[in-house]
Chain A
Amino acid sequence: MFDLDNWQEIFNTIRKHKLRTGLTALGVFWGIFMLVFLMGAGKGLENGVTGLFGDRAKNSLYMGGRFTSKPYKGLAPGRSIRLTNEDVAAIRNRFEDEIAYVAPRMWMPSGEVTRNGMSAAFDVRGDGPDLIHIDPIKIIQGRFINQMDLREKRKVAVIGRGVRNVLFEKDEKPIGGYIQFKGVKYLVIGIAKSSRRGNNGMEDEKTIYIPLTTAQQVRNRPNSVGWFACAMHPNVKVSTVEHKIKDLLKERHSVAPNDLQAFWSENIEEEFAEVQGLFFGIRFLVWFVGIGSLLAGVIGVGNIMLIVVKERTKEIGIRKALGATPNSIVSMILLESVFLTTIAGYMGLAAGTVIVSLLNMAVGEGTEFYGNPEVDMGVAVTALIILIICGAITGLIPAMQASRVNPVVALKDE
């Protein structure tokens, strides 16, 4: 098979039959090209949408209090539920085995943040150190809030990239600088960026994080928690813990067990699973269409090889008369078929990759729902290998037929 002469025979034959070769190659080329292109485009869509989640802990849960909707233990409905530090501590204790991180938080009322005469409105939130394990934020300079900040109720702040860009000049070092919010000055200790794409990411980066205890003190509500985020240990299903936490909180706040209104929650795991399901569907479609066109390409090769054998009956007869063994005829047709499929498939792979990366460049940073289309090389190479094997199998039928050619009949074939 790796005999140079064999290849020279094949190259010669292919060179002498350019049109036929070209047409055969086109089908395979198109099949692989479509597969690669579709996979790339699908991947782009997937990257775009999963990018909306950023690297937020996928097994996380957000929960907070609302108003009761049912009377219970002599309490009238419509009562506002306010979570407390004790609630958070109780959750931590009770669900130690399930929950890895709990991050209580509190929003500050909106207001202007000022520095050096510049001012703008930003979200200011009181948070704890665990948030960094849950929310899709990354510290790019300095540090995040730590336990010491919480304990000492320090007036420190981690600012989003967007905040820095507004309040600080490009050549200024924000860390060590001060920003002022509602009459209180905060020392900037870190800069955060969001790993989420698009608008969500921009919003994330327009946020200022201060220690929760500081926020509680400034708002003069030392035991109040607005809401909390928590992330589970690996292999813990969020939805089961979600109910247990709600039950615990209902008990602690004397809420009717069947009151569905008193607490809100957002289960990221479920949302993410929905999106994953969507992409499973898209991937299935891509493979369905891709494999379909691949198959068409392969059948095309088989078909053309059958015609080729028919057309070359006389040639095969001559070769046999001159001493070609059946095996050498089989390997000639087979090698030609596999060679054609491989080359055409490889070109399709290359062209698809180029188109997808051009698309990638055009999309650039990406729009909200579309980002970084890419070709999964492993899958593409798998497709190519499948194609080659199919090329061999489809080539085999005509090849066997060729090897059975009776030289007498073939030579008579005028």
Chain B
Amino acid sequence: MISLQNIRKSYHTDYNSLEVLKGIDLTINQGEFVSIMGSSGSGKSTLLNILGLLDEFDSGEYLLNDAAMDNLSQKQAAMYRNQLLGFVFQSFNLLNFKTAMENVALPLYYQKVDRKKRQALALDYLDRVGLKEWAHHLPTQLSGGQQQRVAIARSLITSPKVILADEPTGALDSKTSHDVMEIFKEVNREGITMIIVTHEEDIAKMTNRIIYLKDGLIEKEETGTISQT
């Protein structure tokens, strides 16, 4: 599903340049549930952004779904993001002026799906995360856990191949965190590849493969508590 070879990335400022990723080699197969761990500055968020086509890499090779992801135009990147990838963020990143249902339906808007159809689909996905009754509420009227579940429904609605989650439980208490992880597991069981970035050991332990990043390189890998199906 995902194959990285010698991916490098550095950020330049006026005075110095900082190499964040120093050659990442990584293969993730379809249906895996992977967590990426590392201290802040280890490059884990940068890696996730590159995986999510939100950021460009300097050198190396990135194959997503067997297609090379180098030198993409903004339009192509947008298309891949829309069709293959789903995002879940630490701060949920819902649009505050849209209802839960509208937020969930938004990715389909960019696929030019008919309004009625995408709203119906959005309701289905809200139902899956247990928030059907909250469909017409604004994000500000929902709790953090509920907002994150709306965001998950949004990431799922396009039936992506890969879900990328950046500290998805970072803003949640441990109980809600576990609920969210349960949903992720369920999603993963349907064959969707899950990649989460986290710095919480217990969250990482709930995945089946843990990749430790340190100073821009993969330090080690571990197997998590759930076994590969």
Contact = CB atoms under 8 A, between A and B. Distances in A.
Interface of A: 3-5, 8-9, 12-13, 16-17, 314-315, 317-328, 403, 406-408, 411, 414
Interface string B43-59: 00000010010110000
26 contacts: A4-B115, A5-B112, A8-B115, A9-B109, A12-B97, A12-B102, A16-B97, A314-B93, A315-B95, A319-B106, A319-B110, A321-B52, A321-B87, A322-B87, A323-B79, A323-B107, A323-B111, A324-B78, A324-B110, A325-B74, A325-B79, A325-B110, A326-B78, A327-B75, A411-B89, A411-B93
B113 to A, nearest CB: 9
Interface string B104-133: 001101111001000000000000000000
Given A4-B115, A321-B54, A326 B95 contact: no
B97 A320 contact: no
B42 interface: no
B161 interface: no
Contact of B74 (A16, A326, A414): A326
Contacts of B95: 315, 318
A325 B75 contact: yes
Contacts of B109: 5, 9
Chain A interface mostly = helix
Given A314-B93, A318-B95, 13 more contacts: A12-B97, A13-B97, A315-B95, A321-B93, A322-B81, A322-B154, A323-B82, A323-B107, A323-B110, A323-B111, A328-B110, A403-B74, A408-B55
B52 A322 contact: no
Given A321-B52, A323-B107, A12 B82 contact: no
A313 to B, nearest CB: 12
B54 A322 contact: no
Interface string B68-94: 000000110011011100010101011
B98 interface: yes
Nearest to B49: A408
Given A328-B110, A411-B89, A414-B91, A322 B82 contact: yes
A314 B93 CA distance: 8
B81 A321 contact: yes
Contacts of B102: 12
Contacts of A317: 93
Nearest to A8: B115
Nearest to B75: A325
A323 B155 CA distance: 11
Contacts of B54: 320-321, 406-408, 411
A312 to B, nearest CB: 9
Interface in B14-47: none
A37 B221 CA distance: 75
Nearest to B82: A323
A328 B112 CA distance: 11
Contacts of A407: 54
A17 B97 contact: yes
For B79, B109, B158, the residue with the greatest tally of chain A CB atoms inside 10 Å of its CB is: B109
A406 B55 CA distance: 8
B97 A323 contact: no
B98 A320 contact: no
B98 A12 contact: yes
A406 B53 CA distance: 11
